[in-house]
Amino acid sequence: MNTRRGWLSGLGLLLLIGLSSTGQSLEVVTIRLRAHAAAQSRTIKLGDVADLSGGPSLLREQLARLDLAEASEAGGLCVTARQVLIRLQLAGIPLTLVRIEGEQRVHVGIRRRSLTAEEIVATARQALLEQLPWSADEVSIELVQPILAPLPGVADDEEWLIKAELQPGQRPPGRVQMNTRIYIQGRERLALPVYFHVRLYAPVVVCRYRIDRGQRLSEANTIVEKRALDSFSRQTISPIGYLEKKARQTILPGQVIQAVDVEEASETVPVVIKAQDAVKLQIRIGNLQLTAAGQALQDGRLGQLIRVQNVDSKKVLLGRVVDNALVEIE
């Protein structure tokens, strides 16, 4: 507060000179102290504890912003009329411009807002996502149980920070614990665990219509979907090159196709795109169609999913071969 005590020095004198030069008479600002007051920050200002009336509006505005004291973290404080008088003198305000009325002591409380569970969960979820080896569109992170602990409050001018770290030794996906800490004014005020369930999603081949034994997999009887991985996910067939396979046994609609369900087809579809070939990438977003230059990273047959690279962004994508040198991005 000491660094700001001189910010009003000379203001009263300037007002006197300005008003006298225009022939206006000076009116005193009345400072009426209240018995009780509430402030939203720990820095208590004159406008928090008193009603100001009369006098030049510029002076009233400056007086309202005059800082009086600093409240402790524990609670409020008491401001006296004498403290206000001394503070006015330190600020260089001529006492002939003000009149102090009302109570001799003002009991000031601090209005603090409580941090919300949503703020804590959002911070912990983002911290978890940053520590995972997968991108946001490959995982889902769900809160396992709500936060019920009483949360600390903060005033407007208090600095607060939420930090969260993954519990050592835990390996997502599955249930994980984020060790979360809340700091206010640089001091730790609360530590609590936040529990999430992490699910990893990946593209799998799903039977759309019944596929009989010996029947070839095709775009008509299958579909590639993103689904949560489970204990059987390592046994699913890859969506890359699956059209070269046929059913080893009957596959029913809705079934995720496993490696044991298929075998290599005896006949082969001709390769229309070879690895390292320049290709055109076609991307559909609603009714909008975008194209980009790409390069095939593997051989491809009509209807087959292959890996391609966007020449400009260098990003590796998965796309379906729809024509010679044309790949449609999934």
The pLDDT tens digits for 167-201 are 999 888 899 999 999 999 899 999 999 999 999 88
Q: How far is CA 151 from CA 72, 117, 159, in A?
A: 19, 8, 15
- State the average pLDDT for the chain: 86
Report the relative pairing of strands 153-154 and 113-114 from DSSP bridges.
antiparallel
> What is the pTM (predicted TM-score) of this model?
0.58
Q: Which of 232, 239, 323 is nearest to 281 (CA)?
A: 323
Higher pLDDT, 86 or 305: 86
Confidence band, pLDDT 50/70/90 cuts, at residue 308: very high
Give the pLDDT confidence score for residue 276 in this predicted structure. Answer: 93
Residue 310, pLDDT above cutoff 80:
yes
Superfamily holding 2-111: eubacterium ventriosum atcc domain (2.60.480.10)
Token digits for 217? 């997999």
Q: What is the mean pLDDT of residues 257-266?
A: 83
Q: What is the mean pLDDT of residues 71-78?
A: 78
Residue 21, pLDDT above cutoff 50:
no
Q: Who contacts 301 (Cβ-Cβ below 8 Å, separation ≥6)?
A: 243, 244, 268, 269, 270, 271, 272, 321
Where do runs of H (alpha helix) occur along 52-180? 57-64, 81-90, 117-131
Asked if residue 211 lies in contact with residue 250, where contact means CB atoms within 8 angstroms, the answer is yes
Give the pLDDT confidence score for residue 260 in this predicted structure. Answer: 87
Token digits for 310? 């966007």
Please give the distance of CA 204 from its chain centroid, rounded to a whole number.
30
201-252 confidence digits (pLDDT tens) = 888 999 999 998 888 898 889 999 988 876 556 678 888 888 888 898 999 9
Residue 88, pLDDT above cutoff 60:
yes
Q: How far is CA 259 from CA 233, 234, 245, in A?
A: 10, 9, 10
Confidence band, pLDDT 50/70/90 cuts, at residue 12: very low
Q: Which of 91, 41, 42 is nearest to 66 (CA)?
A: 91
- Determine the CATH number of domain 271-329: 2.30.30.760
Q: What percent of the chain has pLDDT over 90?
A: 50
Give the pLDDT confidence score for residue 235 in this predicted structure. Answer: 79
The domain defined by 202-264 carries CATH number 3.40.91.50: no
Q: Which of 31, 17, 233, 253 is nearest to 138 (CA)?
A: 233
Q: How far is CA 10 from CA 55, 56, 93, 320, 325, in A?
A: 17, 15, 7, 77, 79
Token digits for 45? 């200002």
Q: Domain ranges in the chain?
A: 2-111, 114-200, 202-264, 271-329
